[in-house]
Structure 1
Amino acid sequence: MSEISVRPLGEEDWQQYRDTRLTALRESPEAFVATADEEDAYDEDFWRLRMNRSARLLAEQDGRALGIASVGRSSDDEPQVSELFGLWVTPEARGSGVATELVRAGANLARQRGQKQLVYWVGSDNGRAVAFASGFGFRPTAERRPMRVKSDDDEDEVAMVLPLGGDRGSVPTDF
């Protein structure tokens, strides 16, 4: 078995991103705001625009897509903060290090772009996700928002922040 590789996708990779994203939406509909039916209806122009709006990362092994993640600007109010979002790993690859490689690549990309922090919103009741993010070096903040995905309860999301360098509490510059 070969190593897991993560590569950024460009606009010309829109079809591969689209296919993987639709697979994610179908496999884990509870994890996303959008639905597969909604996004399946989007045309090529939409997908190309989406590819340019944020960085899209694809994890692969032996040429097979294992997961995706996106990195984009957190907000206009915080120009040196990026956000990691849309993280998904195929069920058969969960627990194998794919999510770690995607987050590592996302953090390195944000750092290379001069960002100081990477924000990752996690369901406050999702102990596995909180533990994963904490183990990577993300720390919870006081910032909360209502869950953006459909939920049966009133769960909220917590912003977890990873310092990307420049202060004493930051993580190493090469993950």
Structure 2
Amino acid sequence: MSEISVRPLGEEDWQQYRDTRLTALRESPEAFAATAAEEEALDEDFWRLRMQRSTRLIAERDGSPIGIVSVGRAGEDHPRTAELFGLWVSPEARGSGVATELVRAGANLAREQGQTQLAYWVGSDNGRAVAFASGFGFRPTAERRPMRVKSDDDEDEVAMVLALGGDRGSVARDF
């Protein structure tokens, strides 16, 4: 199997991000708050602006996109915390280390930007995602919010946080 490469996309790569994002929305609609139909209707100016708001990372194998993730600010209340969001891996590449490479690249980017923590919101009932994040070193916090994606139950999301400094155990309880 070929090597996985991960690279940041610039504003000029908006079309590649759009195409990959729409593929993700079509393939895994339950994983996102937006729908493919909603985002297909958005114009170039919107997509260029989106590229400026957060860093978009793309994973590729043999030049073909196989995954994406975004890294942005966690919010004004958490100025030293970056947030990882929009993680998606194509079905044929799942289980091959793509998600790990995307998260690793996101953590490195946040660290390079001077952030001390990386937050990742995970459905509290999504055992697979919680296990993945925990295995990577993310730790749950007391922060909860209602699920942003459409759900038939009252599931919430938990903020899991990865310390980006030398001490992996030094995660703030409320990040």
The TM-score, its normalising length taken from structure 2, stands at 0.95
The answer for unaligned runs of 5 or more in structure 2 is none
Matches within 5 A, 1:24-103: 24-103=24-103
User: CA separation of 1:49/1:135 partners in 2, compared to 1, >3 Å: closer, same or farther?
Assistant: same
Do the aligned partners of 2:137 and 2:168 also contact (CA within 8 Å) in 1? no
Correspondence 1:121 to 2:108? no
Whole-angstrom distance in 2 between the partners of 1:157 and 1:74: 15
Correspondence 1:147 to 2:147? yes
Deviations 1:55-92 (A, max 9, x none): 00000000110000000000012111000000000011
RMSD: 1.2
Percent identity (aligned):
85
Do the aligned partners of 1:25 and 1:35 also contact (CA within 8 Å) in 2? yes
Residue 122 of structure 1 aligns with an amino acid whose one-letter code is: V
Whole-angstrom distance in 2 between the partners of 1:136 and 1:168: 11
The answer for unaligned runs of 5 or more in structure 1 is none
Q: Say which SS state the counterpart of residue 169 (structure 1) adopts.
A: coil
Do the aligned partners of 1:116 and 1:166 also contact (CA within 8 Å) in 2? no
Deviation (angstroms), 1:29: 0.5
User: CA separation of 1:19/1:168 partners in 2, compared to 1, >3 Å: closer, same or farther?
Assistant: closer
Whole-angstrom distance in 1 between the partners of 2:167 and 2:61: 35
Q: How many residues align?
A: 171
Stretches (4+) displaced over 2 A: 166-171
Residue 119 of structure 2 aligns with an amino acid whose one-letter code is: V
Q: Say which SS state the counterpart of residue 51 (structure 1) adopts.
A: helix
Whole-angstrom distance in 1 between the partners of 2:76 and 2:16: 29
Whole-angstrom distance in 1 between the partners of 2:120 and 2:6: 19
Do the aligned partners of 2:118 and 2:164 also contact (CA within 8 Å) in 1? yes
User: CA separation of 1:44/1:124 partners in 2, compared to 1, >3 Å: closer, same or farther?
Assistant: same
Whole-angstrom distance in 2 between the partners of 1:81 and 1:71: 10
